[in-house]
């Protein structure tokens, strides 16, 4: 089943001259895949992630998430799509300091209208899944960088989205913590989670089952491991 | 319905935020930045406290006045001759009290008569130093008719009104330095010494008597050359018929020239004072409203800063599924919460202020609960209006722009 489809997608930012961030992108991701998108700075990988996450709209072309053409959706439906089908993991974590790890993860379900008790229960289970079952009441400032990113991953996973979009998830971590996060993403994928990860480091994606290389806004290669 | 939207609706029902979660999200900002929230709520608190204090003090004072009015009654009428400017002191016919007493519904009639004399502490005081005190001849039942009370001593009686005995109004006693009745205090009145036999308490419905010295009609006629004609009559009527009695009084007192007689109801003046307090209250309420407005501007300011500071948070909520509407309503609710916090604190401060002041003045504290509800509701509306524009700015933020600002 296709969970994300980009067809002839172009993204151009206005300016003088206009900046072409993505050109004629064709990408289709099936449920259960783990894809690494790699490319140097300015290659368009962040723009690709934002379009896939419906945080931005393409200048032209089709973006389809969970079967829905995002250009046809209202703000409410787009928001619902993000709430139910897309999980985000950011390089800067974006955790709320005033909330505990448990509440931060439960916040991932807040716009799905689920009761607080249920949210907290699922959040606790998800934190246990990423190895932080013992850190539920800790504030972000009381956690290490690797633990914060695990909390952010738990928040992305808590709603069992169709796809998790990870933007340089190891960018703010040391090599040991970064390797731990990559291991976690692989484990989650092995359990059935679809993950699209972007990174500038080729080393991180070399072992991934599918690797897409971007250069100057175009897909240079799309390789799958045998 | 487009195919894609249809496909989407099959799989989920769109973003939804529970009311309890809305409150929780809206209180996140104030809980995280408590001092700032407290300071911005302070402006509203000052405005609300002002309004509550104004309404409460005015209401308590008015209630006191109306209670006094109830106590004194609205069935006392005064009858006096119409005054010609610059003309001699006019009097009422001598038979007027007897004629008025015959009107049905009239319960009591008493009168005071003009006396061409002044009262001094002793005979050494120059004649010109009258201290603007007036001497009247008075009926022995005047005190009963006015429902007045003695501070010291006794009022004139059938026994004492034939002798040089004087009863002083409250201010007269103070002016002349007489603070007790011992039977030995004498005052120089109309070139004769009069013994002070009583001092009145203030009489709200006949305030002119507070600055008067009262002697009996018989002694006034004999010693002070008064002609016994009343200058003012006090008429106590059946409580439900004071207006109908008032309408016939002038013609009864002076059938030939009713226009030469003026009839008043002194309680009307007290009622007018109560009404005047309303007008003053409006002015102070205006000041309270200005304070509320200043508080609202403070909230607008704080909410704008919050939107700028929390761009990343807004971006995060959008990424997690918040619609533009939810972001906007979160900020408006936050603004309302800050305003309500200020309103509750302001109400408490206002109520305590009114209670303490009323206690000191021996008033009954009277703050209409409805007024508190209206004030808090107004504060909530002010908060909503103050948060509207910042909320629109927050809602319009593109999610990716908000996240990029990190």
In a domain, B270, yes or no: no
A15 in the Ramachandran plot: left (φ > 0), alpha (ψ -120 to 50) or beta? left
The whole-number pLDDT of residue B85 equals 55
Nearest by CB to residue A68, choosing from B5, B312, B403, is: B5
Look at B28 and A98 and tell me if their CB atoms are within 8 Å. Answer: yes
Mean pLDDT along residues A156-178: 90
Residue ranges making up the domain that contains B56? 2-68+276-404
The answer on B80 and B213 residing in a single domain is yes
Which H or E run includes B76? strand B76-81
The answer on B107 and B33 residing in a single domain is no
Contact pairs from chain A to chain B, CB under 8 Å: 120
The answer on B133 and B92 residing in a single domain is yes
Among chain A residues, the shortest Cα distance to B2 is held by: A72
pLDDT-based confidence at residue A155 (cuts at 50, 70, 90)? very high
In a domain, B21, yes or no: yes
What are the DSSP E strand ranges found in B84-229?
106-114, 119-120, 134-138, 150-153, 165-168, 186-189, 192-200, 212-216
Nearest by CB to residue B8, choosing from A81, A90, A107, is: A81
Look at B5 and A79 and tell me if their CB atoms are within 8 Å. Answer: no
The answer on B181 and B58 residing in a single domain is no
Burial of residue B35 (CB within 10 Å: 0-12, 13-18, 19+) is exposed
pLDDT-based confidence at residue B9 (cuts at 50, 70, 90)? very low
Q: Does A177 touch chain B (CB under 8 A)?
A: no
The answer on B89 and B55 residing in a single domain is no
pLDDT digit string (tens) for B239-298?
Answer: 778 788 888 888 888 888 888 888 888 777 767 766 666 666 777 778 778 888 888 898
The answer on B242 and B317 residing in a single domain is no
What string of DSSP letters covers A141-209?
GGS-HHHHHHHHHHHHHTT--SEEEEESTTTTS-HHHHHHHHHHHHHHHHTT--EEEEES-HHHHTTSS
Residues constituting chain B = 406
The answer on B83 and B180 residing in a single domain is yes
Among chain B residues, the shortest Cα distance to A165 is held by: B319
Three-state DSSP class for residue A224 = strand
Look at A69 and B313 and tell me if their CB atoms are within 8 Å. Answer: no
Look at B21 and A116 and tell me if their CB atoms are within 8 Å. Answer: yes
Residue B7 has pLDDT above 70, yes or no: no
Residue B10 has pLDDT above 70, yes or no: no
In a domain, B271, yes or no: no
Residue A180 has pLDDT above 50, yes or no: yes
Nearest by CB to residue A113, choosing from B17, B319, B406, is: B17
Residue B29's alpha-carbon distances to A101, A148, B25, B32, B305, in angstroms, are: 18, 21, 8, 5, 11
The answer on B124 and B231 residing in a single domain is yes
In a domain, B149, yes or no: yes
Q: Does A7 touch chain B (CB under 8 A)?
A: no
Q: Helices marked H in B12-136 — which ranges?
A: 19-26, 28-32, 34-72, 96-101
| CB-CB neighbors (< 8 A) of B32 in chain A | 97-98
Look at A111 and B3 and tell me if their CB atoms are within 8 Å. Answer: no
Higher pLDDT residue, B9 or A81?
Answer: A81
The answer on B361 and B313 residing in a single domain is yes
Nearest to B269 by CA among B64, B60, B74: B74
Domain boundary among B244, B265, B286: B265
The whole-number pLDDT of residue B1 equals 36
Nearest to B320 by CA among A20, A199, A114, A19: A114
Residue A170's alpha-carbon distances to A102, A136, A145, A175, A184, in angstroms, are: 22, 22, 10, 8, 12
Among chain B residues, the shortest Cα distance to A63 is held by: B4
pLDDT-based confidence at residue A24 (cuts at 50, 70, 90)? very high
Domain boundary among B241, B265, B289: B265
Taken in order B73, B79, B83, B88, the sign of the CA dihedral is negative
Look at B320 and A68 and tell me if their CB atoms are within 8 Å. Answer: no
Q: How far apart are CA B267 and CA B67, in angstroms?
A: 12
Q: Does A161 touch chain B (CB under 8 A)?
A: no
pLDDT digit string (tens) for B379-394?
Answer: 999 999 999 999 999 9
Look at B21 and A50 and tell me if their CB atoms are within 8 Å. Answer: no
Residue A34's alpha-carbon distances to A147, A210, B52, B272, B358, in angstroms, are: 22, 6, 64, 85, 75
The answer on B304 and B172 residing in a single domain is no
In a domain, B106, yes or no: yes
A 82-101 residues with CB < 8 A to B: 82-85, 88, 90, 92, 94, 96-99
Tokens of A134: 């013992």
Give the global pTM. 0.71
Look at A83 and B18 and tell me if their CB atoms are within 8 Å. Answer: no
Residue B4 has pLDDT above 80, yes or no: no
In a domain, B41, yes or no: yes
Look at A112 and B321 and tell me if their CB atoms are within 8 Å. Answer: yes
The answer on B310 and B190 residing in a single domain is no
Nearest by CB to residue A111, choosing from B17, B28, B400, is: B17
Residue B348 has pLDDT above 90, yes or no: yes
pLDDT > 90 fraction of chain A, expressed in percent and rounded: 80
| CB-CB neighbors (< 8 A) of A89 in chain B | none
The answer on B199 and B141 residing in a single domain is yes
Question: CB of A79 within 8 A of CB of B322?
Answer: yes
Number of domains in chain B: 2
Higher pLDDT residue, B289 or B201?
Answer: B201
The whole-number pLDDT of residue A201 equals 87
The whole-number pLDDT of residue B386 equals 92
Domain boundary among B240, B265, B290: B265
Higher pLDDT residue, A191 or B73?
Answer: A191
Mean pLDDT along residues B25-29: 90
């Amino acid at each position: 089943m296709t969970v994300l489809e980009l067809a002839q997608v172009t993204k151009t930012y206005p300016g003088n001259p206009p900046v072409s961030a993505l050109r004629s992108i064709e990408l289709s991701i099936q449920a259960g895949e783990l894809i690494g998108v790699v490319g140097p700075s300015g290659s368009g990988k962040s723009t690709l992630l934002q379009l896939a996450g419906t945080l931005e709209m393409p200048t032209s072309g089709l973006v389809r998430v969970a079967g829905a053409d995002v250009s046809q959706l209202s703000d409410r439906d787009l928001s619902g799509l993000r709430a139910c089908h897309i999980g985000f993991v950011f390089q800067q974590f974006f955790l709320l300091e005033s909330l505990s790890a448990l509440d931060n993860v439960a916040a991932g379900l807040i716009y799905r209208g689920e009761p607080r008790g249920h949210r907290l229960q699922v959040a606790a289970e998800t934190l246990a899944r990423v190895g932080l079952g013992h850190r539920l009441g800790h504030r972000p400032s009381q956690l290490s960088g690797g633990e914060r990113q695990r909390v952010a991953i738990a928040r992305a996973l808590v709603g069992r989205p169709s796809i998790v979009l990870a933007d340089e998830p190891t960018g703010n971590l040391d090599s040991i913590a970064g390797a731990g996060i990559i291991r976690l993403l692989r484990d989650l994928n092995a359990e059935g989670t679809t993950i699209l990860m972007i990174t500038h480091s080729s080393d991180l994606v070399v072992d991934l089952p599918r690797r897409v290389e971007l250069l100057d806004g175009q897909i240079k290669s799309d390789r799958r491991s045998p | 319905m487009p195919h894609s939207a249809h496909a989407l609706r099959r799989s989920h029902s769109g973003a939804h935020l529970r009311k309890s979660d809305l409150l929780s999200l809206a209180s996140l900002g104030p809980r995280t930045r408590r001092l700032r929230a407290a300071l911005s709520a302070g402006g509203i608190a000052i405005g609300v406290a002002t309004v509550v204090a104004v309404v409460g003090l005015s209401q308590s004072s008015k209630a006191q006045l109306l209670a006094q009015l109830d106590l004194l009654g609205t069935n006392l009428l005064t009858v006096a001759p119409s005054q010609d400017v610059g003309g001699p002191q006019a009097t009422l016919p001598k038979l007027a009290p007897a004629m008025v007493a015959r009107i049905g519904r009239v319960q009591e009639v008493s009168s005071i008569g003009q006396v061409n004399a002044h009262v001094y502490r002793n005979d050494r005081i120059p004649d010109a130093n009258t201290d603007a005190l007036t001497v009247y001849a008075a009926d022995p039942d005047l005190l009963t008719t006015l429902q007045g009370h003695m501070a010291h001593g006794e009022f004139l009686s059938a026994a004492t009104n034939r002798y040089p005995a004087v009863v002083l109004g409250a201010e007269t006693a103070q002016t002349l330095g007489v603070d007790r009745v011992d039977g030995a205090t004498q005052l120089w009145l109309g070139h004769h010494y009069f013994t002070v036999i009583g001092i009145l308490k203030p009489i709200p419905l006949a305030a002119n008597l507070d600055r008067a010295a009262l002697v009996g009609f018989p002694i006034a006629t004999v010693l002070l050359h008064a002609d016994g004609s009343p200058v003012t009559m006090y008429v106590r009527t059946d409580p439900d018929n004071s207006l109908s009695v008032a309408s016939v009084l002038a013609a009864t007192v002076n059938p030939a020239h009713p226009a030469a007689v003026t009839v008043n109801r002194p309680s009307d003046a007290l009622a007018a004072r109560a009404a005047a307090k309303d007008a003053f209250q409006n002015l102070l309420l205006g000041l309270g409203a200005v304070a509320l407005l200043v508080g609202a501007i403070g909230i607008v300011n704080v909410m704008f800063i919050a939107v700028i500071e929390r761009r990343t948070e807004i971006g995060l909520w959008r990424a997690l599924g918040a619609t533009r509407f939810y972001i906007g309503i979160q900020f408006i609710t936050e603004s309302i919460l800050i305003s309500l916090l200020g309103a509750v604190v302001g109400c408490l401060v206002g109520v305590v202020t009114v209670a303490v002041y009323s206690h000191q003045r021996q008033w009954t504290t009277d703050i209409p609960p409805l007024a508190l509800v209206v004030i808090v509701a107004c504060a909530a509306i002010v908060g909503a209006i103050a948060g509207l524009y910042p909320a629109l700015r927050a809602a319009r933020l593109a999610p990716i722009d908000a996240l990029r600002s990190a």
